Amino acid sequence: MIDMKFVRKKYTTGKIEFEALKGIDLTVGKNEFISVMGPSGSGKSTLMNIMGCLDIPSSGEYLLEGINVRTLSANQLAEVRNQKVGFVFQSFNLLPYATAFENVEIPLLFAGVKARQRRDRVMNLLAQVGLAEKVGNKPTEMSGGEMQRVAIARALANKPNLILADEPTGNLDSKSGGEIINIFRQLWQEGHTIIIITHDQNVAKQTLRTIRLKDGTIDNNGNGSAPL
Ligand SMILES: Nc1ncnc2c1ncn2[C@@H]1O[C@H](COP(=O)(O)OP(=O)(O)O)[C@@H](O)[C@H]1O
Ligand SMILES: [Mg+2]
């Protein structure tokens, strides 16, 4: 699913260069259920952005389902991202003036899905995350847990194999957070590859593998006996 060879990522701010990833070697198989932990600033979000083709490595190789992202144009990269990856963020990133239905519909509009199919797919997705009754609600009319479920439905719209979540429970109480993790577990059981960045040991414990980052390197790749 994911194959990284000595991936580095350098950010340049003015004259200052900072290496956020310092040579990451990582393999993730199909249908894994993974958490990524590490101190703030250790490079977790940078790693996720590269995994999800939101950004490319400064050097090293990244293959997503066998495709070397370096060989792709910006348009091709966007296409790969839209078809293969679903994103879930801590702050939900929903459009505030759009309903749950409209938020989930957006990726399908971009993918050129016809109106009738769009409608069926959006209704199915919102039902899948338990929000059949909230299709007409806007984010301001929903709880944090409900907003995150809309975001998950949106992430699933184009049936991506890979779901990437950056602190998806970070803004939620423990009950709503637990419900979100249960949805991810269900998606994993349905065959998706799930990678969740988290600070929460209780979230990490529910995944099958925990990758630990430290200062832009992999402290523990989570294969073998992970020290919990
Ligand atoms: N766009 C950027 N420009 C400059 N520095 C960045 C940028 N994004 C992240 N960084 C720096 O890279 C390091 C890793 O950031 P990040 O991947 O967000 O870490 P984490 O998600 O683990 O907290 C941090 O020191 C951060 O300040
Ligand atoms: Mg982060």
Residue nearest to atom 3 of ligand 1 (CA): 11
- Pair 172, 196: CB distance under 8 Å: no
Q: Is the shortest distance between the CB of 44 and ligand 1 below 6 Å?
A: yes
Q: Whose CA is nearest to atom 6 of ligand 1?
A: 11
pLDDT surpasses 60 at 226: no
Angle 222-11-27 from CA coordinates, rounded to 5°: 25
Angle in degrees, CA 205, 139, 105, rounded to 5: 90
What is the reported pLDDT for 87? 96
Q: Which CATH class is domain 2-95+155-220?
A: alpha beta
DSSP 94: -
Give pLDDT tens digits for 84-123.
999 999 999 999 999 999 999 999 998 899 999 999 999 9
User: 119-174 pLDDT, tens per residue?
Assistant: 999 999 999 999 999 999 999 999 999 999 999 999 999 999 999 999 999 999 99
Contacts of 189 (CB under 8 A, 6+ apart): none
Task: Kindly list the protein residues that place their beta carbon closer than 5 angstroms to ligand 2, a single-atom ion.
Answer: 44-45
Distance CA 208, CA 157 (A): 25
Strand partners, 163: 86, 194
Give the distance (Å) from ligand 2 centre to CA of residue 125: 27
Residues 6+ apart with CB under 8 A from 77: 53, 56, 69
pTM of the predicted structure, to 2 decimals? 0.94
